[in-house]
Amino acid sequence: MTLSPEISILMDASGKVVSEAQLSAIRNLHPSDIAEALEKSDRTPAQIVEILVQIGNHISSKAFAQLSIETQEACLSAANAQTMLRFVENMEPDDRVDLLKAVDTEVREAIMPLIAQAERNDIRRLWQYAEGTAGAVMTTEYAVLPQHVTVAEALEQMRLQAPNKETIYTIHITDTQRHLLGILSLRDLIMSKPQMTLDRIMETRVISVPSDMPEEEAANVIAKYDLLALPVVDSENRLLGIITVDDVIDILEAENTEDFQRISAVIPFEEGYFKRSLPRLFWNRFLWLAVLLFTSLVSTTIMEMNSDVLHQMVALAFFIPMVTGTCGNAGTQSATMMVRALALGEVQPSDFLRVFRRELFMGLALGLALGLMAYFRVFLQDRHILLSGTVGVALLATLLAANLTGALMPLILKKIGLDPALTAGPFIATIIDAVGITLYFQIAILLIHVL
Amino acid sequence: MTLSPEISILMDASGKVVSEAQLSAIRNLHPSDIAEALEKSDRTPAQIVEILVQIGNHISSKAFAQLSIETQEACLSAANAQTMLRFVENMEPDDRVDLLKAVDTEVREAIMPLIAQAERNDIRRLWQYAEGTAGAVMTTEYAVLPQHVTVAEALEQMRLQAPNKETIYTIHITDTQRHLLGILSLRDLIMSKPQMTLDRIMETRVISVPSDMPEEEAANVIAKYDLLALPVVDSENRLLGIITVDDVIDILEAENTEDFQRISAVIPFEEGYFKRSLPRLFWNRFLWLAVLLFTSLVSTTIMEMNSDVLHQMVALAFFIPMVTGTCGNAGTQSATMMVRALALGEVQPSDFLRVFRRELFMGLALGLALGLMAYFRVFLQDRHILLSGTVGVALLATLLAANLTGALMPLILKKIGLDPALTAGPFIATIIDAVGITLYFQIAILLIHVL
């Protein structure tokens, strides 16, 4: 897709958006496109706010809501509270609380008194839910009706509620204490006879989640049952809010990003690649690299301990990268597959024995095939039974160990409550280096004695 | 969550579901739960069909639609066409075509003549779209209205269309040649005055995609604009179908799984971990491991070429795993981050120079920090300037190269139309092994001459 001229105006860093004609062209853009263009431009936060104010009307509020939380935070800190009030008030309740939690205390204290009383109470209510839980991503702007109204009255009510609700396609039926009695889709409402009361047509077997459920589990519930909205309830089944399907995509993508980062031994961070400052990114990467560097010294120590054998036969060293590399790759394969299968719920920690059997066979098959290939490759070149035998047998043994470690470690981590993604990638590779080199020398020594 | 007794009945392999009481308990379950229990049970495909037939009514059709395509395929091949007709007819059009494409020709030819004429035409229409395109995931069961009807008439029409449409929350307004003129949400319809005509209230700036757009790009459009449904049109803007938000989650998860597989050098496959047969999984893994094994022999050759230096100073070999391992890890970090940033659209191939600058600094910073750590570690133990100098400088040089390769390779692959995920993980690690060992010996030889 090429950028439209209106978007390039937004990306041009030359200060004000000038003509009225240009402004009205920008107002014709989708708020998501305006937000994207502003994100990618070199505008300062103060300039972004100025442009949004010039755009005016409700489009600018929608565009502000679509900005990344880092940019929203910078805007809120750069402009005065009175200017920002409209943008903050029009945000979705859950995003608004995230933003207010992110900004400095003085910025928050400047804007809070300006916010309307009802909204302020809503912020306080949502404030209590820990980040990453269903409570923290739910919205409180849900459609709700009592059970004894008729279908005709309900339709009229929905007409009135629609402007202020995030969705009216799922209607929640509660009693006066907000206990969730049932749900009803707008589709079913429309298809029902006007004089029926809601308690006769509502679905009473409601799928709901507690507010402290991790957000990714709640997202998986929505994905599994193809819901448009999922009610969040307290321990007494009182309706607290709903999670909508568009939040699910964001939650799942964030979760996947975290898995990718963990797999590649980067301390997870939430900003986009260009948004994260270099010094911060340095620490996200350096800490794990340093830990892994010291872990890899185990391999050095093992080689130092075996320096006699190595002096006897320097050629042994030539094939170490092949053995450790190939086995590291096999371990990465099985670990990554298992991390993914756990994330998608295809495999549970209780499947331990089943996975063990499968990966035992797989490790043997891969080890035999690759070990034979390595044996012939070394033998054909060096005609050296001891060397080729050591390489072949070491590859088989190490690959079997690597494959089982890679497959079972994620299950064990999940079982004890850690993120399985921690085990894949560099971690597996570094551990397998040490295991592989140990086995390699043990097998060499053994074969020297035998042959 | 613990399994309810009804679900354990489904998982019990003892043949028929017996009592009527148990059957009605099962009918009270959500179709997704029935499907999940059947998937996890040890039932044969023929037994699964028998249970679904006994459950009867529309719940069993919904449960069948929620089964994995592999299980659906096995059921369709195991039971007679007449029995399966109801299940196949009730599937969503896009899923049905996928299934009919997956089964053997004779199975397909047995059931096709039984399917109603209109449905059969629909199947033929959808058949033409290549797998992985917007056309192949769209449904043809969308809500549609002409532009001159009034809001009151439209509501009445929606009441009638609702039972047969996948969603009525987005209404498509077309002319008699199916040209897409505008869209209207049911929410806006409900909020409008009954006597207004649709052409006055519809949104004419419609976001739509062509049928040959890759499915993940279409999914990203839905995610970006928070849509419930996305129209798919032909080159003349005629409406062909819609992609709904619940498909998006499946598309994005499948795409992420493929990225995880590519990153860990597994040839992508679509079934879940336990669903993929061992011999097939063997090939998915073996082929890449064999390629990488031969690639890693480059490292062996380089060491053989440098065997003089290695004979002179065997201790050089001890630190090879540390240098190649650490640099492989750094390369994996930057490659995985870039693959993810490309998938989320945060970075484009045109950002090449910006990424280059960033990762040049990052590589230098990480290389200096880790190189110094390695230098002191080696020097404190061996008091050997040449050895510690070689290790430190080699680590700096290799890490810089590894970091840039890891970050830029995905951009280059994306530019020439390949999947960037191919570069991360084992590939990077294996290439960096060879580069690292080459630099290591060159630096050692250089320092031997200088010192």
**Nearest chain A residue to B289, by CA:** A326
Query: Which of A273, A306, A380 is the mutation pick for testing B, counting most B CBs within 10 A?
Result: A273
Of A32, A289, A296, the CB nearest to B366: A289
- Report d(CA B435, CA B30) in Å as an integer: 56
Report whether pLDDT(A372) > 90. yes
Q: End-to-end distance of chain A based on CA atoms, in angstroms?
A: 67
**Minimum distance, in Å, between the CA of residue A103 and any CA atom of chain B:** 23
Q: What's residue A117's pLDDT?
A: 87
Mean pLDDT of chain B: 86
pLDDT in tens, B210-235: 999 999 889 989 988 989 999 999 99
Q: Tokens for B35?
A: 């499907």
- Cβ contacts of A243 on chain B, cutoff 8 Å: none
Q: What's residue A57's pLDDT?
A: 75
Of A30, A265, A281, the CB nearest to B362: A281
Of A263, A370, A437, the CB nearest to B289: A370
Report whether pLDDT(B3) > 60. no
Place of tokens 């600018």: A60
- Cβ contacts of A190 on chain B, cutoff 8 Å: 155, 158-159, 162, 168, 186
Respond yes or no on whether ipTM tops 0.90.
Answer: no
Q: What's residue B290's pLDDT?
A: 87
**Nearest chain A residue to B188, by CA:** A162
- For residue A198, name the pLDDT band (cuts at 50, 70, 90): very high
Instruction: Provide the residue type at A7 as one letter.
Output: I
Report whether pLDDT(B426) > 80. no
Backbone angles phi and psi of A129, in degrees to 5: -80, 130
- Cβ contacts of A353 on chain B, cutoff 8 Å: none
Query: Which of A249, A276, A339, A368 is the mutation pick for testing B, counting most B CBs within 10 A?
Result: A249
Report whether pLDDT(B334) > 50. yes
Region B142-150: mean pLDDT is 94
For a pLDDT cut of 70, what percent of chain B falls above it? 95
**Nearest chain B residue to A217, by CA:** B1
Q: What's residue B360's pLDDT?
A: 94
| Cross-chain residue pair B335–A296, CB shorter than 8 Å | no
- Report d(CA A321, CA B324) in Å as an integer: 9
The H-or-E segment that residue A244 falls in is strand A239-244
| Cross-chain residue pair A285–B333, CB shorter than 8 Å | yes
**Minimum distance, in Å, between the CA of residue A106 and any CA atom of chain B:** 31
Report whether pLDDT(A7) > 50. yes
DSSP labels, B331-393: HHHHHHHHHHHHHTTSS-GGGHHHHHHHHHHHHHHHHHHHHHHHHHHHHHHH--HHHHHHHHH
> For B426, what's the count of Cα atoms within 13 Å in the CB-facing half-sphere?
33
**Nearest chain A residue to B266, by CA:** A333
- Cβ contacts of A266 on chain B, cutoff 8 Å: 333, 336-337
**Minimum distance, in Å, between the CA of residue A420 and any CA atom of chain B:** 14
Of A322, A336, A340, the CB nearest to B300: A322
- Cβ contacts of B154 on chain A, cutoff 8 Å: none
- Report d(CA A29, CA A59) in Å as an integer: 9
What would the 3-class secondary structure string for B185-234 be? EHHHHHHCCCCCEHHHHCECCCCCEECCCEHHHHHHHHHHHCCCEEEEEC
DSSP A185: E
pLDDT in tens, A344-363: 878 888 889 999 999 999 99
Alpha-carbon torsion, ordered A45, A49, A52, A54, to 10 deg: -130
| Cross-chain residue pair A265–B329, CB shorter than 8 Å | yes
Region B317-327: mean pLDDT is 87
| Cross-chain residue pair B264–A319, CB shorter than 8 Å | no
Pairing of strands B229-233, B239-244: antiparallel
| Cross-chain residue pair B361–A292, CB shorter than 8 Å | no
- Report d(CA B317, CA A292) in Å as an integer: 19
| Cross-chain residue pair A264–B333, CB shorter than 8 Å | yes
Q: Please, which contacts does B256-260 make with residues 24 or more away whose CB atoms are closer than 8 Å?
A: B256/A256, B256/B343, B257/A340, B257/A344, B258/B419, B258/B421, B259/A260, B259/B339, B259/B340, B259/B343, B259/B419, B259/B421, B260/A259, B260/A260, B260/A263, B260/A336, B260/A337, B260/A339, B260/A340
| Cross-chain residue pair B162–A266, CB shorter than 8 Å | no
Report whether pLDDT(B4) > 60. no
- Cβ contacts of B250 on chain A, cutoff 8 Å: 223
Q: Cα–chain-centroid distance for residue B145?
A: 34
Q: What's residue B250's pLDDT?
A: 86
pTM (two decimals): 0.78
- B215-251 in b/e form (b: 16+ CB < 10 A) is bbebbbbbbbebbbbbbbbeeebebbbbbbbbbbbeb
- Cβ contacts of A336 on chain B, cutoff 8 Å: 260-261, 263-264, 266, 425
In terms of Cβ atoms closer than 10 Å to its own Cβ (0-12, 13-18, 19+), residue B192 is buried
Contact in structure between B323 and B398 (CB atoms under 8 Å): yes
Region B371-394: mean pLDDT is 86
| Cross-chain residue pair A282–B365, CB shorter than 8 Å | yes
Region A213-240: mean pLDDT is 92
Q: Tokens for A1?
A: 């897709």
Q: What's residue B2's pLDDT?
A: 38
Q: Which of A394-408, A415-429, B277-291 has the lowest mean pLDDT?
A: A415-429
- Report d(CA A367, CA A323) in Å as an integer: 11
Of A249, A263, A326, the CB nearest to B296: A326
Q: Which of A187-196, A384-393, B275-284, B418-427 has the lowest mean pLDDT?
A: B418-427
- Cβ contacts of A314 on chain B, cutoff 8 Å: 307, 310-311, 314, 317
- Cβ contacts of A34 on chain B, cutoff 8 Å: none
| Cross-chain residue pair A325–B424, CB shorter than 8 Å | no
Q: Tokens for B117?
A: 């004429």
| Cross-chain residue pair B285–A366, CB shorter than 8 Å | yes
**Minimum distance, in Å, between the CA of residue B124 and any CA atom of chain A:** 27
Q: Which residues contact A135 (CB under 8 A, 6 or more apart)?
A: A126, A128, A129, A211, A212, A232, A240, A241
Of A187, A297, A317, the CB nearest to B303: A317
> For A165, what's the count of Cα atoms within 13 Å in the CB-facing half-sphere?
24
- Cβ contacts of B426 on chain A, cutoff 8 Å: 328-329, 332-333
Contact in structure between A327 and B364 (CB atoms under 8 Å): no
Of B257, B289, B346, the CB nearest to A273: B346
Among A43-52, B379-388, B393-402, top mean pLDDT goes to B393-402
| Cross-chain residue pair B318–A328, CB shorter than 8 Å | no
Contact in structure between A182 and A199 (CB atoms under 8 Å): yes
Q: Lay out the sheet containing A229-233: strands in order across.
A: A209-210, A229-233, A239-244
Pairing of strands A167-174, A180-185: antiparallel
- Cβ contacts of A414 on chain B, cutoff 8 Å: none
Report whether pLDDT(B77) > 70. yes
Of B186, B281, B293, the CB nearest to A326: B293
Query: Which of B139, B270, B283, B296 is the mutation pick for testing A, counting most A CBs within 10 A?
Result: B296
- For residue A2, name the pLDDT band (cuts at 50, 70, 90): very low
Return the CA Rg of chain B.
30
| Cross-chain residue pair A261–B337, CB shorter than 8 Å | yes
Query: Which of A322, A384, A387, A427 is the mutation pick for testing B, counting most B CBs within 10 A?
Result: A322
Q: What's residue B15's pLDDT?
A: 52
Of A248, A256, A266, the CB nearest to B333: A266
Query: Which of A256, A294, A334, A342 is the mutation pick for testing B, counting most B CBs within 10 A?
Result: A256
Instruction: Provide the residue type at B383 as one letter.
Output: R
Q: What's residue A5's pLDDT?
A: 52
In terms of Cβ atoms closer than 10 Å to its own Cβ (0-12, 13-18, 19+), residue A350 is exposed
| Cross-chain residue pair B369–A163, CB shorter than 8 Å | no
Region B398-417: mean pLDDT is 90
Mean pLDDT of chain A: 86
Helix (H, G, I), strand (E, B) or coil at A120: helix
Instruction: Provide the residue type at B377 as one letter.
Output: R
Q: What's residue B229's pLDDT?
A: 94
- Cβ contacts of A169 on chain B, cutoff 8 Å: 169, 186-187
**Nearest chain B residue to A159, by CA:** B191
**Nearest chain A residue to B357, by CA:** A278
Backbone angles phi and psi of B168, in degrees to 5: -115, 10
For a pLDDT cut of 90, what percent of chain B falls above it? 36
Report whether pLDDT(A384) > 60. yes
> For A448, what's the count of Cα atoms within 13 Å in the CB-facing half-sphere?
12
